[in-house]
Amino acid sequence: MHIAFLLAAVVAFENVNVVPMDRERVVEWQTVVVRHGRIVEMGPAARVKVPAGAVRVDGRGKYLMPGLAEMHGHLPTPQTPAEVTENILFLYVANGVTTVRGMLGHPGQLDLRKRTADGSLLGPTLYLAGPAFSSQSGASVEVARKMVREQKDAGYDLLKIQEGLKPEVYDAIVATAREVGIKFGGHVPNDVGVERAIAARQSTIDHLDNYLDALEADNSPLKGADPEKRVRELVFHLDERKMPELARKTREAGVWNVPTMKLWETFFNDQNGEAMRASMLEVKYLPRAMVDGWVKQKDSRLPTALATILGFETRGKVGERVIETRLKMLRALRDARCKFLLGTDSPQVFSVPGFSIHREMPIWVQAGFRPYEVLDAGTRNVAEYFGASGEFGTVAVGKRADLILLEVNPLADVGNAAKRAGVMVRGRWVTESEIQKRLGSIGP
pLDDT given at position 356 = 98
Q: What is the pLDDT of residues 61-84, one digit of tens each?
A: 999 999 999 999 999 998 999 999
What average pLDDT does this structure show over 174-200? 97
Task: Kindly state the DSSP code that residue 351 receives in the 8-state scheme.
Answer: B
Q: What values do phi and psi take at 115, rounded to 5?
A: -70, -35
Residue 58 CA: distances (Å) to CA of 17, 52, 200, 224? 11, 16, 49, 64
Q: What is the pLDDT of residues 326-371, one digit of tens each?
A: 999 999 999 999 999 999 999 999 999 999 999 999 999 999 999 9
Does the pLDDT value for residue 229 go beyond 90? no
When pLDDT is cut at 50, 70 and 90, the band that residue 7 belongs to is low
pLDDT given at position 161 = 97
Does the pLDDT value for residue 257 go beyond 90? yes
Q: Are strands 63-66 and 68-73 parallel, antiparallel or unpaired?
A: unpaired
Determine the Cα–Cα distance for residues 442 and 1; give it in Å rounded to an integer.
8
HEC string of 155-223 equals: CCCEEEECCCCCHHHHHHHHHHHHHHCCEEEECCCCCCCHHHHHHCCCCEEECCCCHHHHCECCCCCCC
Determine the Cα–Cα distance for residues 203 and 145; give it in Å rounded to an integer.
18
Task: Kindly state the DSSP code that residue 41 receives in the 8-state scheme.
Answer: E
When pLDDT is cut at 50, 70 and 90, the band that residue 236 belongs to is very high
Amino acid identity, position 275: A
Q: Is residue 150 classed as helix, strand or coil in its secondary structure?
A: helix
Determine the Cα–Cα distance for residues 415 and 419; give it in Å rounded to an integer.
8
Measure the CA dihedral 327/329/331/333, to 10°. Answer: -150
pLDDT given at position 269 = 86
Q: Is residue 227 classed as helix, strand or coil in its secondary structure?
A: helix
Task: List the domains of the chain with CATH numbers.
Answer: 1-66+393-444 (2.30.40.10), 193-389 (no CATH)
End-to-end Cα, the chain, rounded Å? 13
The rounded mean pLDDT for the chain is 93
pLDDT given at position 431 = 97
Contacts of 278 (CB under 8 A, 6+ apart): none
Does the pLDDT value for residue 258 go beyond 90? yes
Residue 223 CA: distances (Å) to CA of 96, 189, 266, 361? 46, 18, 29, 36
**CA within 13 Å, CB half, 192:** 31
Does the pLDDT value for residue 231 go beyond 90? no
* Cα angle 317-322-328, degrees, rounded to a multiple of 5: 125
What average pLDDT does this structure show over 247-276? 95
Q: Is residue 62 classed as helix, strand or coil in its secondary structure?
A: coil
Task: Kindly state the DSSP code that residue 294 receives in the 8-state scheme.
Answer: H
Q: What percent of the chain has pLDDT over 90?
A: 85
Q: What share of the chain is helix, strand, coil (3-state, %, to 5)?
A: 40, 20, 40
When pLDDT is cut at 50, 70 and 90, the band that residue 152 belongs to is very high
